[in-house]
């Protein structure tokens, strides 16, 4: 393989992969001949994203940890197999114990076996943690890491007992956010350039809860037909069901299962409704788009609430709690819909407030993280 080698480990969601791509893009621009390879999960979203980049990738059989006896055996087996595959790839590319490579763990269950393999090979390990609170895999990897890059100052406390140096750099974002072309996506999707855009997104895999709550509000959203249009990203799993619910809806709409060009789409949007993963909130801010954040409610640490709170504190977002319980038309889901409608109606009517929220995004947005991390990685391998 020759030259400097950069192995990115993580996947399962766009929130893990997109920051890694941003760093990889910057490395390639800064270092001619640098080699980049991704270790990802077998989920469709990983190959769907990475296949668009031109970077090589290896899908690993790793799965999430479970203490249940039946699943624990599967976890251990997949961990060891993933470790073996990663170890062989790193060794063949760089030579055992080579210092011409670095492994960058970006979170999720895929990153742990790859970083463990790197640890055994004495290959340098760097950890990227963009959420305020580190997940289980990142807490483990931190013990082996030479350096840790984080988005938020608050995150440093969780690595206080680890010997590695923690650098607060922000969230690495794809280069498209630097010079977005909103007109390009308006033309591509056949949108009305004279109407404002309400973007609904559940992130790369979609959100069933958000989809269903929005569908409950379609009749009310029809009252904005003259001035607004909707772009709704559903995720693959519920695309057909959501599409059917839009039949007969008056307000102009575009329903898609997935859309890769989020830099241009977010920049074209006048208001976004979505989850508040660490990458999502960073992208909302970078695109200067006011947001209604609906944090994912099923994480024990509720870290998406903390992510969204950063935007709220800056005056760039509002939070609507997801009170949904499984099942269509439950009282909790109706309650969530009512709360969301109150926020939507106010912001869709109040252009002055939206503009102020958009301006406030600049206080929390940054495009420097990918450059800082790439430069540091290249310096360490010089």
CATH code, domain with 15: 3.40.50.2000
Distant-in-sequence, close-in-space partners of 184: CB < 8 Å, separation ≥ 6: 261, 264
Sequential DSSP letters for 51-89: TTT--EEEE--------SHHHHHHHHHHHHHHHHHHHHH
Residues 279-333 have pLDDT tens digits of 999 999 999 999 999 999 887 778 899 999 999 999 999 999 998 655 555 677 7
For 93-115, write each residue's pLDDT tens digit: 765 445 689 999 998 889 999 99
How many angstroms separate the CA atoms of 14 and 128, rounded? Answer: 14
If one counts the domains in the chain, the total is: 2
Q: Do 27 and 42 lie in a common domain?
A: yes
Whole-angstrom Cα distance, residue 93 to residue 87? 10
Report the side by side order of strands in the sheet with 252-256: 252-256, 228-233, 196-201, 271-274, 291-293, 317-319
Asked if 46 and 150 sit in the same domain, the reply is yes
Residues 96 and 10 placed together within one structural domain of the fold: yes
Query: Are 76 and 120 in a shared domain?
Result: yes
Pairing mode of beta strands 147-150, 101-105: unpaired
Computed on alpha carbons and rounded to an integer, the radius of gyration of the chain in Å comes to 21
Beta-carbon contacts of residue 303 (< 8 Å; ≥ 6 apart): 131, 132, 133, 278
Range of the domain at 375: 5-173+367-380
Q: What is the pLDDT of residue 33?
A: 87
User: pLDDT band at residue 152, thresholds of 50, 70 and 90?
Assistant: very high
Give 235's Cβ-side CA count (13 Å radius). Answer: 19
Buried b / exposed e across 216-246, counting CB within 10 Å, b at 16+? bbbeebeebeeebbbbbbbbeebbeebeebb
Considering the domain architecture, whether residues 195 and 148 belong to the same structural domain is answered as no
Whether 190 has a pLDDT exceeding 50, the answer reads: yes
Statement to judge: residues 128 and 141 lie in one domain: yes
Instruction: Specify whether 24 is located in the same domain as 124.
Output: yes
9 and 60, same domain (yes or no): yes
CA 343/CA 350 separation, integer angstroms: 11
Contact 251, 224 (CB under 8 A): yes
* Same domain membership, residue 195 and residue 81: no
Q: How far apart are CA 126 and CA 199, in angstroms?
A: 35
18: closest CA among 245, 203, 270, 191?
A: 203
Pairing relationship of beta strands 147-150 and 291-293 according to DSSP bridges:
unpaired
Cβ–Cβ < 8 Å for 324, 213: yes
pTM: 0.90
pLDDT tens-digit map of 159-179: 988 877 899 999 999 989 999
Where would I find the beta strands (DSSP E) of 176-251? Answer: 196-201, 228-233
Question: Comparing C-alpha atoms, which of 216, 173, 137 is closest to residue 21?
Answer: 173
Question: Do 93 and 160 reside in the same domain of the chain?
Answer: yes
Distance CA 27, CA 377 (A): 8
Task: Examine the domain organization and report whether 67 and 135 are in the same domain.
Answer: yes
**For the chain, how far is it from start to end, CA to CA, in angstroms?**
17
For the chain, the 3-state helix, strand and coil shares in percent, each to the nearest 5, are 45, 15, 35
With 70 as the cut, is the pLDDT of residue 7 above it? yes
**Are 225 and 306 in the same domain?**
yes
Is 50 strand, coil or helix?
helix
Q: What is the pLDDT of residue 341?
A: 97
Mean pLDDT of 211-215: 94
Query: Of how many residues is the chain composed?
Result: 382
């Amino acid at each position: 393989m020759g030259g400097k080698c950069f192995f990115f480990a993580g996947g399962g969601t766009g929130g893990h992969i997109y920051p890694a791509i941003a760093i990889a893009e910057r490395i390639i621009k800064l270092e001619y001949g640098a080699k980049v390879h991704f270790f990802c999960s077998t989920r469709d979203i990983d190959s769907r994203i990475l296949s668009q980049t031109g970077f090589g990738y290896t899908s690993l059989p790793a799965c999430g940890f479970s203490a249940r006896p039946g699943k624990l055996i599967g976890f251990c087996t997949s961990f060891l197999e993933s470790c073996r595959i990663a170890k062989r790839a790193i060794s063949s590319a760089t030579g055992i114990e080579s210092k011409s490579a670095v492994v960058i763990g970006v979170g999720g269950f895929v990153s742990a076996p790859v970083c463990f393999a790197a640890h055994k090979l004495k290959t340098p390990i760097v950890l990227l943690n963009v959420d305020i609170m580190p997940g289980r895999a990142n807490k483990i990897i931190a013990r082996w890491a030479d350096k840790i890059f984080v988005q938020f100052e608050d995150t440093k406390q969780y690595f206080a007992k680890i010997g590695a140096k923690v650098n607060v750099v922000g969230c690495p974002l794809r280069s498209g956010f630097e010079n977005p072309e909103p007109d390009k996506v308006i033309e591509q999707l056949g949108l009305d350039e004279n109407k404002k855009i309400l973007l609904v997104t559940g992130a790369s895999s979609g959100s069933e809860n958000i989809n269903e709550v929005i569908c409950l509000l379609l009749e009310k959203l029809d009252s904005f037909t003259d001035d607004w249009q909707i772009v709704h990203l559903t995720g693959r799993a519920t695309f057909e069901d959501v599409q059917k619910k839009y039949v007969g809806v008056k307000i102009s709409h575009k329903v898609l299962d997935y859309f890769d060009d989020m830099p241009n789409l977010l920049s074209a949007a006048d208001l976004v409704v979505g989850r508040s993963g660490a990458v999502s909130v960073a992208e909302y801010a970078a695109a200067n788009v006011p947001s209604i954040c609906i944090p994912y409610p099923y994480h024990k640490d509720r870290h998406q609430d903390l992510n969204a709170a950063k935007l709220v504190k800056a005056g760039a977002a509002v939070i609507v709690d997801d009170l949904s319980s499984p099942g269509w038309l439950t009282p909790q889901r109706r309650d969530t819909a009512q709360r969301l409608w109150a926020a939507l109606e106010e912001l869709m009517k109040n252009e002055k407030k939206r503009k102020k929220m958009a301006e406030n995004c600049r206080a929390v947005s940054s495009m420097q993280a990918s450059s800082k991390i790439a430069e540091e990685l290249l310096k360490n391998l010089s």
